[in-house]
Amino acid sequence: MLAMYSGGSVFLLIGVLGLGLYGSNEPTLNFETLANQSYPVALEIIFYIGFLIAFAVKSPIIPLHTWLPDTHGEAHYSTCMLLAGILLKMGAYGLVRINMELLPHAHSIFSLWLIIVGTMQIIYAASTSLGQRNLKKRIAYSSVSHMGFIIIGIGSITDTGLNGAILQIISHGFIGAALFFLAGTSYDRMRLVYLDEMGGMAVSIPKIFTMFSILSMASLALPGMSGFVAELIVFFGIITSQKYFLMPKILITFVMAIGMILTPIYSLSMSRQMFYGYKLFNAPSSYFFDSGPRELFVSISIFLPVIGIGIYPNFVLSLSGEKVETILYNYFYR
């Protein structure tokens, strides 16, 4: 796991040094200067592939995702929150700011392959998540699946798709962090991580059950929550893209829709295995204690942006829209 993550960082370091040293008497890492720099197509493709490998490890993108479920499965839930909420999203941010903005011609060449990989990732990770016994690994694979929508939005090369990808980055950052937090609070009480050993906890810990159920709904893109808006905008982005023919767009949209059907299957199954049934229904009441004020405060604090963005997504879109238009029009349509 460490070797794979470190390997991705090596590609990132080499790519940054290459950009900084190319075509200038004085090395520079000034972003505005690099944004106006042009490269030979072959060199730009080499830079693009290097950065893509680096960000594919950090995001993660299949097949370089294998370190993530094991890391989530073994790490403390506070580490999982930071990983899912912040660190993984830096990979997607890097794809937008470096691969898209600094290397537009190469991105235009690779965009279709990004969309194909993103579509496969949605189906693969959602299917794999359903077979996970470990609670945190199931949530981890759901993060990998949701990353597929971000990749498709980035590959669509439309302002709608890219705005949807940015919204999904922010949305799933909150939702993923909250689910790992609640998984950690559940583990603190039960000392169980395997779903087939759980069951019947809804009566004993109703507050945790309520918050986990609500955030599971957010993860499966329930209307009125941020995940729904983000995925819907990505759908519109790929459908309205002028770069691709109609039949590939229909096929990609159809496969994405299958992925959205698989999401509630593994998400609701996770809630059912944890909170319904009779395995722990008759456990002594001292075995459980419900969420305290501190945990409720953290859960609600993370949940409020999820519902806020779902109701009023323009709050985020108004902040990203101008930069998205700059990236697309300055580098793709000039």
CB atoms within 10 A of CB 293: 7
Q: Is the pLDDT of residue 2 over 80?
A: no
- Output b/e per residue, 298-334; b: 16+ Cβ within 10 A: bbeebbebbeebbeebeebbeebeeebeebbeebbee
> Among 144, 201, 212, which residue's Cα sits nearest to residue 178?
212
Angle CA 329–332–334, to nearest 5: 65
CB atoms within 10 A of CB 277: 14
Q: Is the pLDDT of residue 328 over 70?
A: yes
CB atoms within 10 A of CB 29: 11
Contact indicator for 331, 100 with CB cutoff of 8 Å: yes
Output 109-112 pairs: Cβ under 8 A, ≥24 positions apart: 109/45, 110/48, 110/52, 111/154, 111/155, 111/156, 111/157, 111/243, 112/155, 112/243, 112/244, 112/248
Residue-wise pLDDT for 246-303, tens only, equals 888 888 888 888 888 888 888 888 888 888 876 655 555 545 677 778 888 888 898 8
Q: Is the pLDDT of residue 35 over 80?
A: no
27 torsion bin: left (phi>0), alpha (psi -120 to 50), beta (else): beta
pLDDT in the model for residue 307: 92
Residue-wise pLDDT for 117-155, tens only, equals 999 999 998 888 888 888 888 888 888 888 989 999 988
Confidence of residue 321 (pLDDT cuts 50, 70, 90): confident
Q: Tokens 């730009």 map to which residue?
A: 44
pLDDT in the model for residue 6: 66
Mean pLDDT of 20-45: 78
For the chain, percent of residues with pLDDT exceeding 90: 4
Distance CA 138, CA 218 (A): 16
Mean pLDDT of 66-72: 80
Tokens of 67: 């370190």
Indicate the average pLDDT of the chain. 83
Residue-wise pLDDT for 193-248, tens only, equals 788 777 777 777 788 888 888 898 888 888 888 888 998 898 888 888 888 778 88
